């Protein structure tokens, strides 16, 4: 069954709680749970809620294998903004995951193509991703698949969009020149193979991209719009990120009337 569930919450903290509930529910049903991790600011509240759930015994991180979406090319692994460090800090330590089961692409590898191919092999060997947490870029990217990315793409080297470099300069003390130009990222097809997706977005800066993802035509101009073809995508938004949706009334009505036998 193909379903995109759209849940609008009052604020970013509630977005995190709802997303964490969905992730917990999906992983609890899997004997060898595999989690897909996004970095950036959007999923921070989700990781905080998952950390609370782990502390309260509602989420078991002990058997979880995890794969991160992307990494900058050329940033030393111990740089505070390398996704190696960010994943360690924001996810592994907070949730209590086993570091040896957490995979992050190595943007310093001497053979980047082989690194991408090997990452795909590791994902396959783990049995694929059960639930992928995603944010969305203001330009509609998922992972670092910028507008124009092939919908059939797999893990590979990409050039970051100027807008993404401007947006991410805030993590580099506002110095755009310090933001790497290239990255490694799971492809759109790689992401689409996750059995479930939980995408979180908050803030007015995401409203246009969110509307294009859900209601725009599906195409490479908005990589997140590929999710319209995903069998099980849950989109959790705050009011500001949902502000551009034309059919909001229907999404709320569908949510309020979806018995568990229907979805
Ligand atoms: C991060 C990633 C990106 C971000 C997106 C939103 O691993 O893949 O797609 O999710 O750029 O970033 P924030 O959440 O910082 O607005």
H or E stretch covering 103: strand 102-103
CA of 173 to the centre of ligand 1 (A): 17
CA atoms within 13 A on the CB side of 220: 8
Q: Across the chain, where does the E strand assignment appear?
A: 3-9, 34-37, 65-68, 70-72, 102-103, 131-134, 156-159, 182-185, 196-201, 232-238
CA of 135 to the centre of ligand 1 (A): 5
Using a 6 Å cutoff on CB, does residue 137 contact ligand 1?
Answer: yes
Q: What is the pLDDT of residue 261?
A: 47
Has 239 been annotated as catalytic?
A: no
Give a yes or no: residue 86 inside a domain: yes
Q: What is the pLDDT of residue 197?
A: 98
Give the Cβ contact number of residue 148 at 10 Å. Answer: 10
Give a yes or no: residue 262 inside a domain: no
H or E stretch covering 157: strand 156-159
Total number of domains in the chain? 1
Which entry of 106, 130, 146, 238 is annotated as an active-site residue? Answer: 146
Closest CA to 142 of 48, 212, 46, 65: 212
Are 7 and 234 in contact by the 8 Å Cβ rule? The answer is yes
H or E stretch covering 133: strand 131-134
- What are the structure tokens assigned to 194, written together? 């996750």
Give a yes or no: residue 168 inside a domain: yes
Measured by CA distance, the residue closest to atom 3 of ligand 1 is 143
Has 146 been annotated as catalytic?
A: yes
Kindly list the distances between the CA atom of residue 253 and the CA atoms of 192, 195, 231, 249, 257, in Å, as whole numbers in the listed order.
27, 26, 21, 6, 6
Has 178 been annotated as catalytic?
A: no
Give a yes or no: residue 160 inside a domain: yes
Q: What is the pLDDT of residue 259?
A: 63
H or E stretch covering 70: strand 70-72
Where in the sequence is the domain holding 57, given as residue range(s)?
4-257
Indicate left, alpha or beta for 212 from its phi (over 0: left) and psi (-120 to 50: alpha). Answer: alpha
Give a yes or no: residue 184 inside a domain: yes
Top mutation candidate among 69, 137, 235 for ligand 1, by most atoms within 8 Å of CB: 137
Q: What is the pLDDT of residue 125?
A: 98
In CATH, what number is assigned to the domain containing residue 74? 3.40.50.1360
CA of 257 to the centre of ligand 1 (A): 31
CA of 109 to the centre of ligand 1 (A): 22
Give a yes or no: residue 215 inside a domain: yes
- Walk along the chain (263 residues) and give the pLDDT tens digit of each residue: 678 999 999 999 999 999 999 999 999 999 999 999 999 999 999 999 999 999 999 999 999 999 999 999 999 999 999 999 999 999 999 999 999 999 999 999 999 999 999 999 999 999 999 999 999 999 999 999 999 999 999 999 999 999 999 999 999 999 999 999 999 999 999 999 999 999 999 999 999 999 999 999 999 999 999 999 999 999 999 999 999 999 999 999 999 998 654 44
Give a yes or no: residue 263 inside a domain: no
Q: What is the pLDDT of residue 1?
A: 66
Confidence (pTM): 0.97
Q: Which residues, listed in sequence order, are joined to residue 234 by a DSSP beta bridge?
A: 5, 198
Q: What is the pLDDT of residue 128?
A: 98
The secondary structure of residue 91, as a DSSP letter, is I
Which entry of 71, 84, 103, 139 is annotated as an active-site residue? Answer: 139
Can you say how many angstroms the Cα of residue 22 is from the centroid of all Cα atoms in its chain?
Answer: 14
Has 139 been annotated as catalytic?
A: yes
Q: Does residue 229 sit in helix, strand or coil? A: helix
């Amino acid at each position: 069954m193909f379903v995109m569930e759209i849940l609008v919450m009052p604020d970013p903290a509630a977005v995190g709680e709802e997303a964490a509930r969905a992730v917990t529910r999906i992983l609890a049903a899997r004997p060898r749970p595999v989690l897909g991790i996004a970095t950036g600011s959007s999923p921070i509240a989700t990781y905080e809620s998952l950390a609370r759930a782990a502390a309260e015994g509602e989420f078991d991180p002990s058997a979880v294998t995890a794969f991160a979406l992307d990494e900058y090319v050329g940033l030393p692994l111990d740089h505070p903004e390398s996704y190696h460090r960010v994943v360690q800090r924001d996810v592994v330590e907070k949730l209590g995951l086993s570091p040896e089961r957490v995979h992050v692409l190595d943007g310093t590898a001497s053979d980047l193509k082989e690194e991408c191919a090997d990452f795909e092999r590791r994902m396959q060997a783990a049995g694929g991703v059960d639930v992928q947490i995603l944010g969305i870029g203001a330009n509609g990217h998922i992972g670092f698949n910028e507008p124009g990315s092939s919908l059939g793409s797999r893990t590979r080297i990409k050039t970051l969009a100027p807008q993404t470099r401007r947006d991410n300069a805030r993590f580099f003390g506002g110095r755009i020149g310090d933001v790497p130009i290239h990255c490694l990222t799971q492809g759109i097809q790689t992401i689409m193979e996750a059995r479930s997706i939980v995408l979180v977005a908050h803030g007015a800066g995401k409203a246009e991209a969110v509307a294009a993802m859900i209601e725009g035509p599906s195409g490479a101009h908005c990589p997140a719009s590929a999710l319209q073809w995903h069998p099980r995508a849950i989109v959790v938004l705050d009011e500001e990120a949902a502000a551009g949706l034309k059919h909001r009334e229907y999404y709320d009505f569908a949510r309020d009337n979806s018995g568990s036998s229907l979805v």
